[in-house]
Structure 1
Amino acid sequence: MTHTARVVVLDIEGTTSAAGFVQGDLYDYARPRLRSWIADHADDPAIVSAVADTRAEGGLADDADLDAVVAVLHGWMDTDVKATPLKTIQGQLWAAGFAAGELRSHFFADVVPRLREWHERGLRLVSFSSGSIASQVPWYRHADAGDLTPLIEDYFDTVKAGSKREVSSYEKIASALGVAGDDTLFLTDLPAELDAAAAAGWQVIGVRREGEPNYAADFGDHPVVSSFDEVDVRARA
């Protein structure tokens, strides 16, 4: 499957990396540490905002205590809700875990060689995940294959760009990168994200990996691959 583009935008969970690692190892690391992290960083504006947003989105009173806030966060984790305040707190925790050498990221074997190949061809590589930028950067930095951050030009999350299911988010990313929608190729395992990106004029490819949560999803008319080995991207002049 050959495409020409200037920018390749990458989803993480289920696309470059196993969802089970995120919802398993990373969630297991964050869950018991959420309460102490919030308490120890109570003066951090990002944490203050995340706690306030958790109370609001979780239907709590404005003065709900920390135990109630953590209960909402744990509930979101249990049901894999992509809530921005949860992603903010998790992102800080995971960044600290990566920096301490307690966590390593996961990439499917077919991903890293392609990323290096596309980078060498002059393609701009960008990450767009529901996970916070604070977690995306160390994810690419602490891969088993080495530091991949030199390959990634920019990072977007739901705070910087908006929901991954909204057309406006993809328009905002293209504008920030200074490219037309058609110059951008997006790879993700979620059909609703493909729909939104395609509606913004982007090129899209669905990634259907055996064993991943969205393997049986209906990708409609979008092109679909099971591996990055099936994707040949050439840099558009």
Structure 2
Amino acid sequence: MRPPTVSGLTAYIGYFLVLWLLWLNVILFDVRFVVDSVAERVLGAIHLGAMVGVSVFAPQHDPAKQVEGTFQAFSIVLMFSRVALSAQYGLATLRQPKVARTGLMVMAATHFAAAMVYLGITFRFTDSTNSRVFVVWYILGFVDTVIIFVISFQFTGLSFRKRVLPERTKTATLLILGEGVIVVAEHVSTVVKNLNSWTPETVGALTATVALIYIIFQIYFDWA
């Protein structure tokens, strides 16, 4: 097993953040506007594909040793997820009263603008250098989400009152934490096969990882 490093832990936290923000934005739409239609099912399939794509790229998500194809594909996946959200908010304007349409159009424009930024930075990744542009994934994901929340509280009919947002958020977090547990289990199985890997650094890293997952679990399911 590759020795744990600070950069590796940072990369995993960044990956977790991108994945969580991606799914949170899907939830922010679903709890308010999703309907049973062919268009929504197709767009929902795109979101599912984006989640799978992000999960597939997880093992190679190493900003310190960037693989051009992996990082470009990761950015493209994020772009498609935002394009799908933009389309969903656009379709929602056809079903909502006029008082809410302006807010929905702004949300659609926000996600589309984010998608174009994700597309633009895709071509900054090359095999010849480790680009720092991946930081935009985190910044843009956070800013994008904040804007959606602000707009939701500014326009009538877009609020989260009487919605199941907390419950849906907890469920999504549990799914993502489950993936983290799987990764830890795989690493533990590797260590067990190679007794020489049981170094103080390895034990400390595994203990810290399990403790971090447990703390996040407690925050969402007991303390919240």
More strand by share: 1
TM-score if structure 1 supplies the norm length?
0.26
Greater relative contact order: 1 or 2 (C-alpha under 8 angstroms, separation 6 or more)? 1
Structure exhibiting the larger radius of gyration computed from Cα positions: 2
More helix by share: 2
TM-score if structure 2 supplies the norm length?
0.27
